[in-house]
Structure 1
């Protein structure tokens, strides 16, 4: 095999491509900001531990940790802290917790949070989600229509609370 087209390097790894950053405004709750700061600290600690290894032949974990740090730092630079503690509970807004009931009377609680803290299993949804768009601005007693792929679901707003 000809060696003419084989790249020989110094063993260093090119930086991994950056993780995609959302084009939406980066609103965060105080808990979301603290979680981002904790993630940055963890990623920095992980990178330090990786660089302290006696055998550093595999540089990919270090490159991944550096990429994660770049992503988290970008999210922290663009974070718009929004504290819902002072918001009135008259309508659904970012950071507030809303309890809804479907047509069968099944109650569910949701909190509209930043993208980095969203977790559907915990009821935390992003402002860009179809559910959040249906809920934002609604008041207790309102019935909103949530457009899902399976059809439209009507939800009644039962309560709005601070987290």
Structure 2
């Protein structure tokens, strides 16, 4: 008989088989990024214990998946040394640039899991970060359909 017409046993909900989150091959992190991972693992460990206590299967499945993800990311994380000079844009540096329209933007180049462009943190594998890395103050980079000039690098 085809399984398509067989009723699942009670409690066999789909959330019990949540697929794992995809792991990126990019592992560089800042010290802050490493601390964020450790904090996520601690929070998720506490959440998992609470979900187990409450026998919340959906929450156990969700938190377990996230805990597996962050634990794997933590094991593979490579702590990058902070930049030691501000002559070139490097991982961990903050770079400011001015677009042709006069708008200034500033981003810190960080690891993927720490990235949040709305907070001024840009993943080192993003196209903009790739355009910035290795450049110096005064260099021009492509930004969308225009260009921008690097006006500052901070470490």
Structure 1 length-normalised TM: 0.84
Residue 83 of structure 1 deviates from its aligned partner by 2.7
Is 1:135 aligned with 2:136?
no
RMSD: 2.0
Q: Conserved in 2, the CA contact under 8 Å of 1:99 and 1:159? A: yes
Q: Deviations over 1:24-45 (max 9, x none)?
A: x210000000000000000001
What stretches of structure 1 of length at least 5 have no aligned partner?
none
Instruction: Trace 1:8-47 onto structure 2 (pairs within 5 A).
Output: 8=9, 14-23=16-25, 25-47=26-48
Structure whose residues are more often helix by fraction = 2
The 2-side partners of 1:155 and 1:10 are apart by 57
Residue 72 of structure 1 deviates from its aligned partner by 0.1
SS at match of 1:45: helix
Residue 11 of structure 1 deviates from its aligned partner by 6.1
In the alignment, which residue of structure 2 is the partner of 1:52?
53
Q: Count matched residues.
A: 151
Change (3 A) 1:154 1:11: closer
Residue 7 of structure 1 deviates from its aligned partner by 4.0
Change (3 A) 1:156 1:8: same
In the alignment, which residue of structure 1 is the partner of 2:61?
63
SS at match of 2:37: helix
